[in-house]
Homo-oligomer: A and B are copies of this chain.
Amino acid sequence: MEAIFQGYLDKLSRLDTQAMFNSDFLLTWEKTDQELAAVFAVADALRYLREHNISARIFDSGLGVSLFRDNSTRTRFSFSSACNLLGLEVQDLDEGKSQIAHGETVRETANMISFMADVIGIRDDMYIGKGNAYMREVSQSVRQGYKDGVLEQVPVLVNLQCDIDHPTQCMADMLHIIHHFGGVENLKGKKIAITWAYSPSYGKPLSVPQGVIGLMTRFGMEVVLAHPEGYEIMPEVEEVARKQAVSSGGSFAKTNSMAEAFADADLVYPKSWAPFAAMAKRTDLYGAGDFDGIDALEKELLAQNAQHKDWCCTEELMKTTRDGKALYLHCLPADISGVSCEEGEVVASVFDRYRTSLYKQASYKPYIIAAMIFLAKCQEPQRMLQALFERGTKRWLK
């Protein structure tokens, strides 16, 4: 066995992943450090197998159900790639953008789609207080269904983006960072700036900045969250970040200055989002069916946004980062000034310089999702990876 693959297995053998078996992946901060490390190791191992044309199918048949409350090409492809890699066929359930159903309907639908489902991927990020709660409702419903003998297996849930966290995105970001800096052990003391940036649209989800501070404060990094006044994120997640920074020996700081955040940063993640308070208000308006109110709120937010067009990732700002060469991150698609919009989150020359890096960042997502499923479906992940390697089934007969 090649040393590099053996390295992943060795890493795994030192990690306790027992609690991941048959478990959902909903928030990174519900997982232990060892569990997160296991996701990274399995993702790397699965990528190794794929690169070496070795099949990673652990399913001969079975369904992966995708449940999106939003159009989403990228997430859809990442999820179906991950399912396909492991041998699951994807069946989509599109419920439209309507306010999510509750109670009876959720419980019933969850069971009706799960008779042969091994995994359910849900994206539901549109309403504060709803998305993650919905996922837990689905999870409880199918677990009850399994207990009652309705379902032959427990379909595990993967959070493909909710109102609180975006674990598959942030874990993919993190794996990219780990590889960029040559190992997780090199991240201690690195400064990462997750900052708001101007976009001509409004209402972009909070799950990315929240997911970033909720995850990246666990590796001893100096995490700085920057945004104009009024663009606060969920206080509960900030609290999580603060505690984790302490435990990990890093720090978590906030500022209203993009310049301050960028100064000497090793990594920058400039991205638009909507104010938490406004999004919570929007959810209430939506619940009350007050569409005039929603229109008024949208106008107000766009006007508020327009006051902060200077929050843009420029060459000048990039020069102030560590050696002028901070790693620029984005979850894509970015609003690029003069390209996808007049004024946006980043200038074209910065984006262009990091394009390949950004695409690589995105390329980890299918493997992260596959690793989450793998760890929820294999009781002994290390042994299984070794068995797949030894089986050596060619993915593609060239």
Binding site for B on A (CB under 8 A): 47, 50-51, 55-63, 65, 73-74, 76-78, 80-81, 84-85, 87, 89-91, 93, 103-105, 108-109, 111-113, 115-116, 118, 145, 148-153, 332-333, 336, 339-340, 356, 359-360, 362-363, 365-366, 377-379, 384, 387, 393-398
| CB <8 Å contact, B77 and A339 | no
| CB <8 Å contact, B58 and A396 | yes
| CB <8 Å contact, A81 and B116 | yes
CB proximity of A350 to chain B, nearest CB, Å: 14
Given A91-B80, A150-B360, does the pair A105, B61 have CB atoms closer than 8 Å? no
Interface SS of chain A: mixed
Expressed in whole angstroms, the Cα–Cα distance for A379 and B90 within the complex equals 30
| CB <8 Å contact, A78 and B115 | yes
Which among A60, A78, A93, A333 has the highest number of chain B CB atoms within 10 Å?
Answer: A60
CB proximity of A114 to chain B, nearest CB, Å: 8
**Residue ID in chain B nearest A391 by CB atoms:** B397
| CB <8 Å contact, A378 and B398 | yes
**Candidates B149, B359, B395; contact of A62 at CB < 8 Å:** B395
Which residues of the other chain, B, contact A59 by a CB distance below 8 angstroms?
395-397
**Candidates B80, B115, B145; contact of A77 at CB < 8 Å:** B115
| CB <8 Å contact, B91 and A89 | no
| CB <8 Å contact, B73 and A93 | yes
Expressed in whole angstroms, the Cα–Cα distance for A397 and B65 within the complex equals 19
| CB <8 Å contact, A115 and B363 | yes
**Candidates B65, B84, B111, B116; contact of A366 at CB < 8 Å:** B116
Given A115-B366, A384-B397, A395-B62, does the pair A104, B359 have CB atoms closer than 8 Å? no
| CB <8 Å contact, A84 and B61 | yes
Given A50-B152, A148-B356, A359-B150, does the pair A112, B332 have CB atoms closer than 8 Å? yes
Expressed in whole angstroms, the Cα–Cα distance for A50 and B113 within the complex equals 16
| CB <8 Å contact, A397 and B58 | yes
**Residue ID in chain B nearest A378 by CB atoms:** B398
Which residues of the other chain, B, contact A394 by a CB distance below 8 angstroms?
60
| CB <8 Å contact, B359 and A378 | no
Instruction: Show 20 A/B contacts (Cβ-Cβ < 8 Å), sorted by A.
Output: A47-B152, A55-B61, A58-B396, A58-B397, A59-B396, A60-B396, A61-B395, A62-B84, A63-B81, A73-B112, A78-B115, A81-B115, A81-B116, A103-B339, A108-B359, A112-B332, A115-B362, A115-B363, A149-B356, A379-B398
